[in-house]
Structure 1
Amino acid sequence: MTNLPVILFAAKPQRWGQYEAPLRAALADAGLGDATLVTEAAPETVDYIVYAPNSDVQDFTPYTRLKAVLNLWAGVEDVVHNKTLRVPLARMVDDGLTEGMVEWVTGHVLRHHLGMDAHIHGQDGVWRAGIVPPLARDRRVGVLGLGALGSACAKALHGLNFDVTGWSRSPKSIDGTTTTHGEDGLADTLARSEILVLLLPDTPGTQNILNARTLALMPKGAMIVNPGRGPLIDDDALLAALDSGQIGHATLDVFRTEPLPPAHPFWAHPSVTVTPHIASETRPGSASRVIVENIRRGEDGLPFLHLVDRDLGY
């Protein structure tokens, strides 16, 4: 390394307070403590952008020296198709984010598996005995999406002895988990999933993957857990399936519009649990180390990690 890089932090102002110290610490640990880390810089001087897609930086054309854009989020759907972005784009793949997602998913799958809501919300003097759930080995769980997060969740659920089937658009292999792919595999996975976890990216090929037709393939009364992306589900079709009893409950952490508008019917529906996009927050400490590792690699002439495939969109 010769000239130390200029790193632009481009995100909402409150994020700077969360990330400045962890990023500076990670830079120091990587031998880059003298690098310039700023929230404002002349575009032609910037080597790397630490980026949130909702930042003010939307036109990358002026950044003529830019080597890479390092996304703060796992999701890249709001930047991957930006035609002004012509340098490598790295998504956030962070052990802390993965661990948080596994914890959230396993918690809600267990909640639905055990029928905990009947007792949590039924504090009305009624002794609700005699309803015994199956053991985990007899509960069929499906996971749509077998990337880093989906694979980790499938492994964790298998470790709890659930009968897990995972689906992806292309063939994948996960120890202990039955995997399927393609249209036939999707139909088979849906047909057996008493609890379904959605961890697909938001792409044209995954939008509305749960719709009136595919929801009808699921076992009657199945539960849906969506910490993936809001557009994976046709909202109106889900509400109709909930009203008919085809779907027993939906726990939703992500939505087409966020925050979820107060008048949206999900809020008042008795068979919907809304959580405010908290399934797995990026942790500044661990995320900063991931970002700085890519900066170090860029400065040392090594390939970047976790690059986005622009054609696939993730």
Structure 2
Amino acid sequence: MEAEAFLRLNVYDDNLGPDDAVGGVGLDEQWVALGGAFGKVYAGVKDSINKSLHNQPIDYGIGSGDVNIWVIKPAFSSSPSSNILQGARDRTSFEVIADTIPMVGYISPQLGGFQLGLTYAPNPGTLGTNSNTATSPTNHWDVTLAYAHEFQGISIGFDGGYGTQNLTPANGDKVKAWNMGLQLGYAGFTLGASVLQTRFPGAFVNDGHGWNAGLAYANGPWGISYTYFQEQRRGSAAGKNELFQTHLLSGKYALGPGVDLKSSLFHGAFSGEGAFSGENRDADSQNTSGYGLVSGFDVSF
């Protein structure tokens, strides 16, 4: 039997960036877990179990999920905004609909390489509150089946998941999502790809899909990786599309136990509302892009 407790402190909201004055400062994930031959059970505030089992490209830097905090997003109005709710989410796990929520979760032991993951959150809101109303999200659940195996030096990882959540129970509105991920590894190289599809009720701006693909190589204390990510969203009730793309080249070097030097060179580009498929690409307010270089130390203990 094994018991585990986890607590993480944020100095800023990793979906908004360090320029956001108040959002996300304070405790982030906080959970306990109990594991044994039966698997592992989680309780507390945590991302969806799907994120823990999801296969996708390896990145040795900041991760494509953080590129959007360095690139200004086009808003629905004529002027850009740096942190709108409809900004890119840059992820292919169910973290996009179940990000640090009060939940219970379960990961089964591996059987023939297969592993099952379950998440349930009766009130995916603030811990210690009751949002079980006719207008607040309720009853999030998701299920993930993952497979991992190694044969003659070749490793393979695959997963598929399905999730749903009641958005406004009074209207019977549900959000639905599915995803898949794949990793292949050989002689230090890892090839990865994944995809996510979300469906919201009605003409909802967050309907869309995202996918990524990348290649990484690691040898001893150092590693290098490249990842491409693309996300397309509906963006408006008129059925227009918004596109977000990132190219991310990263590297790391292990300076010692638990201490890595990491660096990422990236390009991110938003095509705003109505700017997809060549529409309005001459409107600067609907098209933004940027390059960046971020370096730092990753310390874990």
**TM-score with structure 2 setting the length:** 0.26
- Kindly indicate which of the two structures has a greater share of residues assigned to strand: 2
- Kindly indicate which of the two structures has a greater share of residues assigned to helix: 1
**TM-score with structure 1 setting the length:** 0.25
